[in-house]
Chains A and B, each alone.
Chain A
Amino acid sequence: MRLHANRDFLAGIACLLMSSLVLWKSQEYAFGSLQRMGPGFMPTMLGIMLAICGVIIMLFSKKTAGTFPRINVRALFFITIGILTFSLLMDRLGVFVATILLVFICRLSESGNKFLSTLMLSLALCALVYLIFSLGLSMPLRLFPWSF
């Protein structure tokens, strides 16, 4: 059977990669016996089962594979960066700065000039976060870069 680099073939490869990571790490944990399972028992079993699944998926891949769905790479990139920026800045510069940056970075997922509407949205969301989380749930959030 000739193998093609189609969607399911890659899915099978992903399973094998994950499985080898799991099995490689599981060697550090004691396997134990069926009666006294060590911490390595489950990982080894799961790794082997995943490898079997991966091989089956690859073998059937020529027949089963569908087309790749279209992924919005731009949205993936900017939304991920937006969340990471938020997580890095909220403790250091406060939740307001982090919120404004998150909204602006996320909005880069689409094209078009929309500075004013984005600014309005980010300010409205700052107010909402303050009202819900700080006032409503009294969560200890650092608000401004200069607070505590």
Chain B
Amino acid sequence: MELLDNLALGISVAFTLENLLYCALGVTIGMFIGVIPGVGHLAAISMLLPLTFYVPATTALVMLAGIYYGAQYGGSTAAILLNLPGTPSSAVVCLDGYPMAKQGRAGVALFMTTVASFVGSFITVLVLAAFAPPLANFAVAFNSADYFSMMLLGLVAAAILVQGSPVKGIAAVLFGLIFGMVGTDVSTGVQRYAFGLTFLYDGINIVAIAMGIFGVTEVIANVGKVSSAVTAQKITFRSLLPTRKDIKESIFPMLRGTGIGTGVGILPGTGTSIASFLAYAVEKKISKTPSKFGKGAIEGIAAPESANNASAQSAFIPTLTLGIPGDAVMALMLGALLIHGITPGPNVISDNPDLFWGLVVSFLIGNVLLLVLNIPMVGLWVRLLKVPYPILYPSIILFIAVGVYSINYSSMDIMMVAFFGVVGVMLLLLGFEPAPLLLGYILGPMIEENFRRTMLLNRGDMMVFLERPVSATFVAMTLMLLLWTAYSMIKSAKHKSIEQA
């Protein structure tokens, strides 16, 4: 019974005092930042990344992952009570959650989103445990050509599937790839784009770039906008309990949402927002009474909530088996692994079984903890919505500054944060998405290295990408994505010009 042995190993790792403590800390912080609108999980993870240098790799990942999936639970609270999404992926929950609150059913909505989150996460953790190890075994045979094509697919998917124009998404990825080139070229030792500045010779610090374009930009965008003076509804324990009809109507949407979320999470380059939007759209399409949606349909909160949690968990599958981050959060997780001297790739699970199985068991613990944090303590989280933003944002900025300093004890890194804060605002102004940029920045050096190696081994013959079956599959998928995008762009352009005429 290999699985039982593995689980036993996982339990022995996850149940150490340190890991339990960091797991609890992670999910609590995640819940906290999820509840408060205007503080995202990406900002929180990049802020806390430096703290994890002081603990072992497993503990670090346990905590960072806890923030990620904890935020998925918390995000729906503000969405339901204030019609403000706490996290981007809970924007969909506003559509039916807020009407439910207006009908006096806020308690039921909060309860069902928690249950949906739990169901989505729990099932997907089991999927992760079952499928990640065989996938990793399969991936061991991949060579540099396969890796290049796979990363290409990831970048193209990240660029195209974001909101807004796909060409701008591709441009954002290219910006990221360009930022990734700054510093010493690994194969030739040439300083590229350092402009003679010594602190750029090692490249741009990942934490500085992430904190700048996510943390600082988010604060700047929210100052003066987020008012927390709104009086939220009072939630009693009794008001939480759903009726039998509520439960009956939610079971299948939850399972469908979980399925969609798991699938979306595995694809590289997609995030939790896409999963929850897709789940909502599917529920509305197959519903016998689509007119109910937007007016407080319980299916409309159950499906997207389980979908975003499921995708937050299944995003770990490509990250831990292939070393390819599915989204910007996973990119930061890989950064944490690298800092601890673990090279991401198919060997992570076999070389560090304690890391993988410890993480899996900690996910289960974390989700149970979140259930406990949510249901009996919901009143506390509701009260949190009243913390004034003017107290919050200087604190966030301060912790970003000290946090980035703590990595290299370099005040230059703090200046880079300020620089990337301005860059982030520019991106916002011009409508470029920051997430594909960060993904490009992370994958840039890897993609260049794998391309260079492939070309060296195959004497500059580009056909190799089509000759290997794995690589050819990824190239074909990339081309299909690009063609489909070009087709729909031209179609919508034509459509618009007809409308104008």
Q: Which of A8, A29, A83, A139 contacts B421 (CB 8 A)?
A: A83
Chain A hits for B286, CB < 8 A: none
Q: Decide: A87 and B418 in contact? CB cutoff 8 A.
A: yes
Q: B residues 359-402 with Cβ under 8 Å of A?
A: 390-391, 393-395, 397-398, 400-402
Q: Decide: A7 and B431 in contact? CB cutoff 8 A.
A: yes
Q: Decide: A34 and B455 in contact? CB cutoff 8 A.
A: yes
Chain B hits for A64, CB < 8 A: 165
Closest chain B residue to A120, Cβ basis? B391
Q: Decide: A11 and B168 in contact? CB cutoff 8 A.
A: yes
Q: Decide: A71 and B394 in contact? CB cutoff 8 A.
A: no
Interface stretch, picked from B130-138, B216-224, B308-316, is B216-224
Q: Which of B219, B429, B496, B497 contacts A69 (CB 8 A)?
A: B429
Q: Decide: B223 and A46 in contact? CB cutoff 8 A.
A: no
- Report how many residues on chain B are interfacial, defined by Cβ distance under 8 Å: 65
Q: Decide: A87 and B401 in contact? CB cutoff 8 A.
A: yes
- Known contacts: A57-B171, A79-B219. The answer to whether A121 contacts B421 by CB under 8 A is no
Q: Decide: B406 and A57 in contact? CB cutoff 8 A.
A: no
Residue A36 at the B interface, CB < 8 A?
yes
Residue A90 at the B interface, CB < 8 A?
yes
Distance in angstroms from A103 CB to nearest chain B CB is 5
Residue A97 at the B interface, CB < 8 A?
no
How many interface residues does chain A have, given as a range? 35 or more
Q: A residues 93-148 with Cβ under 8 Å of B?
A: 95, 99, 102-103, 106-107, 109-110, 114, 117-118, 121-122, 125, 129, 133, 137, 139-140
- Known contacts: A39-B192, A57-B171. The answer to whether A83 contacts B397 by CB under 8 A is yes
Distance in angstroms from A141 CB to nearest chain B CB is 8
Chain B hits for A99, CB < 8 A: 398
Chain A hits for B278, CB < 8 A: none
Closest chain B residue to A109, Cβ basis? B223
Distance in angstroms from A143 CB to nearest chain B CB is 12
Distance A102 CA – B409 CA, assembled complex (angstroms): 18
Q: Which of A38, A117, A121, A122 contacts B188 (CB 8 A)?
A: A38
Q: How many A-B residue pairs have CB under 8 A?
A: 187
Distance in angstroms from B367 CB to nearest chain A CB is 27
Residue B415 at the A interface, CB < 8 A?
yes
Q: Decide: A87 and B411 in contact? CB cutoff 8 A.
A: yes
Residue B201 at the A interface, CB < 8 A?
no
Q: Which of A10, A18, A57 contacts B167 (CB 8 A)?
A: A57
Distance in angstroms from A123 CB to nearest chain B CB is 12
Distance in angstroms from B155 CB to nearest chain A CB is 11
Distance A22 CA – B421 CA, assembled complex (angstroms): 21
Q: Decide: A29 and B192 in contact? CB cutoff 8 A.
A: yes
Distance A41 CA – B187 CA, assembled complex (angstroms): 12
Chain B hits for A11, CB < 8 A: 168, 171, 430-432
Q: Which residues of A contact B (CB under 8 A)?
A: 7-8, 10-11, 14-15, 18, 22, 25, 29-30, 33-39, 41-43, 46-47, 49-50, 53-54, 56-57, 60, 63-64, 66, 68-69, 71-72, 75-76, 79-80, 82-84, 86-88, 90-91, 95, 99, 102-103, 106-107, 109-110, 114, 117-118, 121-122, 125, 129, 133, 137, 139-140
A-B contact pairs, 29 of them (CB 8 A): A8-B430, A11-B168, A14-B426, A15-B171, A39-B188, A42-B177, A43-B178, A43-B193, A46-B177, A47-B178, A53-B170, A56-B167, A57-B165, A66-B431, A79-B223, A80-B418, A83-B216, A83-B400, A83-B415, A83-B417, A86-B401, A90-B414, A95-B402, A102-B394, A107-B394, A117-B391, A122-B394, A137-B51, A137-B54
Seed contacts A39-B185, A47-B178, A82-B394; 7 additional CB < 8 Å A-B pairs: A29-B190, A35-B456, A60-B489, A64-B165, A87-B401, A122-B394, A137-B406
Top-5 shortest CB links A-B: A87-B414, A35-B460, A34-B460, A11-B430, A83-B418
